[in-house]
Amino acid sequence: MGIRILYDWLFQSNRPTHVKAGMFVFLVMFAFCFLPLGIPLDKSAIVALVTTVIAAIVVEYIQKRCGFVFDWLDALATVLLPGLIAVFTISMTSIL
């Protein structure tokens, strides 16, 4: 039952686009922090997640300024998958 509700919520509005954009921002920032800058893996995940959160809120703010409604659920959809990856990365690096 819970998976179906999450699936239906995710495919409302333009949330799949938000998920893709959030993953793009997260992966680009994660790669930039980890590879050329040499920041450790767990700290790179945190920086990339914070960058994704900021990008999600800025996008929703811009949409509000253009006359649309500020939708926290779209911002949550943007951060959902990057947040899971960041938590997994941090937990794996703390175990090892």
Q: What is the pLDDT of residues 65-95, one digit of tens each?
A: 999 888 898 899 899 999 999 999 999 988 8
User: What gap in Å lies between CA 12 and CA 7, rounded to an integer?
Assistant: 9
Which pair of tokens denotes residue 7? 């699936």
User: Could you tell me if 52 and 25 are in contact, meaning their C-beta atoms sit under 8 angstroms apart?
Assistant: yes
Alpha-carbon radius of gyration of the chain: 15
User: Global pTM?
Assistant: 0.86
Report the pLDDT averaged over residues 11-16. Answer: 81
Report the pLDDT averaged over residues 59-68. Answer: 92
Q: Does residue 6 register a pLDDT over 70?
A: yes
- How confident is the model at residue 1, as a pLDDT? 60
Report the pLDDT averaged over residues 46-66. Answer: 95
Mean pLDDT of the chain: 90
Number of structural domains found in the chain: 1
Which domain, by its residues, includes 28? 2-95
* Tens digits of residue pLDDT in 35-49: 998 899 999 999 999
